[in-house]
A and B are shown apart, each in its own frame.
Chain A
């Protein structure tokens, strides 16, 4: 695994995520979130899961970011900036980060480097999806249909 590439992508993703969490203007935050998603997809490519990386770009940027941006459009009243920032949230986030880092460093079995692995082909993913994971796939289809119908009903205006 390529070390300079990893460092670069890590810095890019964390910077974009920080921008998404702290920027004042809503649209800039949403677009930084899209950039963070690209960084995360690059991580997935680096770690050998190309299919997941492509699905990440497709879903997070093509669907979730567009949804967020549409909702920003539909729920503004000419006041785009976010008023107020809760500083206790920052304290809690830093505390959680400290706890997680302590747990990661303390566990000795995690300091391994990446073993050699044959590349995971999409054909293999397809075969596993259709044989071993077919029940989760069908449940996912049902869940997505339910989410679609639910979202439509929530936003539908009553017919007078």
Chain B
């Protein structure tokens, strides 16, 4: 019974493919891909709409006020109102802007964000496109975002946009390195770049109770935290939203975009967030596996979206709690702390593997990470020693 609910979407797709099942091979492939694409778009655009209103409500509650609550029950139809507003706004393009580049930038950003959604396993047998080098595809397409951000900044012919774009690219390039290097221990331990294989390697339970997710190993926990923070930075979210800091450079590279193009940028940022958290859930949190054996009857896609929702809630929570960091603080953090810690995770994963994957491996890799972490904290102490504060009063 639970297995049939689990596979309900797979069966639905096979039923939809019945009319063309006897046709030529390429027709079946194209039909299957189209069904995958439309389902993906439908699910994630709905999730985007839902998240935009949920984020405002949760932020509101953190700030001790209600969020939007007038449109529809509990304000849940707010995205409809927002969508109508964005669609009917006038589309203003600066006169001296580069028309082609200005137009193509939001298209390219949204396209690359949606492309990265295609390789994540959403459930048992529910990966839209299985590529042998899936993780490499994810990062290759994600790195194209920087070019699109630059196009947005340049195409607007505006000093603030250019400055915002350069800050955004500097931040994104700096944090791409920790992002990719923290994924390397997982690839090393699993031995494959295929996300399906990575989820399969995290099945089973230790002592029948604790799941074999990589986040429960010391290198996995450290790598997950680093991956999570790098994902925050890659999506330009507070506390790292210097590129779109409203009080500093208007809206950064998105300044000269109005109406639907701005909505496209917004959507691309959120979908990038979904992709990164989805990948984090796949790599470290066991994908669509259940955390305890007793709860395995709940379908796999429910578990995946529950983990996705939990990670997104932490993103929103961080946004409501932390202030914005300075640009040089962000760069320092990336190059001086996160990069050495990321390399340490690789070494710790190797130590874990070769000391046997049990308790001994756990202890030794924990020791490695702890030593490097304390060494870094001592050497990177950049607090300035202030002189005791003196006061000068008017005489």
Contacts of B133 in A (CB 8 A): 50-51, 54, 122
When the two chains form their complex, are residues A50 and B132 in contact, meaning their CB atoms are under 8 A apart? yes
CB-CB contacts of B137-169 with A at 8 A, as 1s and 0s? 101110110110011001000000010001001
Known: A27-B101, A27-B154, A123-B192. Is A58-B136 also a contact (CB below 8 A)? Answer: yes
B131 CB contact (under 8 Å) in A50, A55, A66: A50
CB contacts under 8 Å to B, within A49-74, are 50-51, 54-55, 57-58, 61-63, 65-66, 69-70, 73
A27 to B147, CA, bound (A): 11
Within the complex, the shortest CB–CB distance from B55 to chain A, in Å, comes to: 29
Contacts of A31 in B (CB 8 A): 101, 147, 151
Contacts of A42 in B (CB 8 A): none
A66 to B172, CA, bound (A): 12
In the complex formed, the residue of B with least CB distance to A125 is B133
Does residue B100 face the partner (Cβ distance < 8 Å to A)?
A: yes
Contacts of A121 in B (CB 8 A): 132
In the complex formed, the residue of B with least CB distance to A30 is B147
Does residue A81 face the partner (Cβ distance < 8 Å to B)?
A: no
When the two chains form their complex, are residues B147 and A65 in contact, meaning their CB atoms are under 8 A apart? yes
Residues of B in contact (CB 8 Å), total 25
A123 to B194, CA, bound (A): 11
A122 CB contact (under 8 Å) in B132, B140, B154, B169: B132
Known: A51-B133, A51-B136, A69-B150. Is A62-B100 also a contact (CB below 8 A)? Answer: no
When the two chains form their complex, are residues B146 and A66 in contact, meaning their CB atoms are under 8 A apart? yes
In the complex formed, the residue of B with least CB distance to A63 is B143
A27 to B151, CA, bound (A): 9
When the two chains form their complex, are residues B143 and A61 in contact, meaning their CB atoms are under 8 A apart? yes
Does residue A40 face the partner (Cβ distance < 8 Å to B)?
A: no
Contacts of B310 in A (CB 8 A): none
When the two chains form their complex, are residues B166 and A73 in contact, meaning their CB atoms are under 8 A apart? yes
Within the complex, the shortest CB–CB distance from A32 to chain B, in Å, comes to: 11
Does residue B311 face the partner (Cβ distance < 8 Å to A)?
A: no
B contact patch SS: helix
Does residue B173 face the partner (Cβ distance < 8 Å to A)?
A: yes
Does residue B193 face the partner (Cβ distance < 8 Å to A)?
A: yes
In the complex formed, the residue of A with least CB distance to B139 is A58
Within the complex, the shortest CB–CB distance from B234 to chain A, in Å, comes to: 13
Known: A28-B100, A122-B133. Is A57-B192 also a contact (CB below 8 A)? Answer: no
In the complex formed, the residue of B with least CB distance to A121 is B132
A62 to B162, CA, bound (A): 19
A55 to B267, CA, bound (A): 27
Contacts of B141 in A (CB 8 A): 57
A34 to B146, CA, bound (A): 12
When the two chains form their complex, are residues B132 and A58 in contact, meaning their CB atoms are under 8 A apart? no
A57 to B144, CA, bound (A): 8
Contacts of B136 in A (CB 8 A): 51, 54-55, 58, 122
When the two chains form their complex, are residues B140 and A57 in contact, meaning their CB atoms are under 8 A apart? yes
Contacts of B192 in A (CB 8 A): 122-123
A28 to B155, CA, bound (A): 11
A69 to B144, CA, bound (A): 13
Contacts of A63 in B (CB 8 A): 143
CB-CB contacts of B118-145 with A at 8 A, as 1s and 0s? 0000000000000111001101110110
When the two chains form their complex, are residues A62 and B143 in contact, meaning their CB atoms are under 8 A apart? yes
Contacts of A61 in B (CB 8 A): 140, 143-144, 147
Does residue B6 face the partner (Cβ distance < 8 Å to A)?
A: no
In the complex formed, the residue of A with least CB distance to B150 is A69
Contacts of B193 in A (CB 8 A): 122
A121 to B191, CA, bound (A): 12
In the complex formed, the residue of A with least CB distance to B149 is A66
A73 to B151, CA, bound (A): 11
When the two chains form their complex, are residues A27 and B98 in contact, meaning their CB atoms are under 8 A apart? yes
A62 to B136, CA, bound (A): 12
CB contacts under 8 Å to B, within A115-152, are 119, 121-123
Within the complex, the shortest CB–CB distance from A63 to chain B, in Å, comes to: 8
Contacts of A55 in B (CB 8 A): 136, 140
Within the complex, the shortest CB–CB distance from B350 to chain A, in Å, comes to: 14
Contacts of A123 in B (CB 8 A): 191-192
Contacts of A51 in B (CB 8 A): 133, 136
Contacts of B140 in A (CB 8 A): 54-55, 57-58, 61-62
Within the complex, the shortest CB–CB distance from B263 to chain A, in Å, comes to: 24
* B interface residues, Cβ below 8 angstroms from A: 98, 100-101, 131-133, 136-137, 139-141, 143-144, 146-147, 150-151, 154, 162, 166, 169, 173, 191-193
List 12 A-B pairs, Cβ < 8 Å. Answer: A50-B132, A51-B133, A57-B141, A61-B144, A62-B140, A62-B146, A63-B143, A66-B150, A69-B150, A73-B166, A122-B136, A122-B192
Known A62-B143, A66-B146; 14 more pairs at CB < 8 Å: A27-B98, A31-B151, A50-B133, A57-B140, A57-B141, A62-B140, A62-B147, A63-B143, A65-B147, A66-B150, A73-B154, A73-B162, A121-B132, A123-B191
* A interface residues, Cβ below 8 angstroms from B: 27-28, 31, 34, 50-51, 54-55, 57-58, 61-63, 65-66, 69-70, 73, 119, 121-123
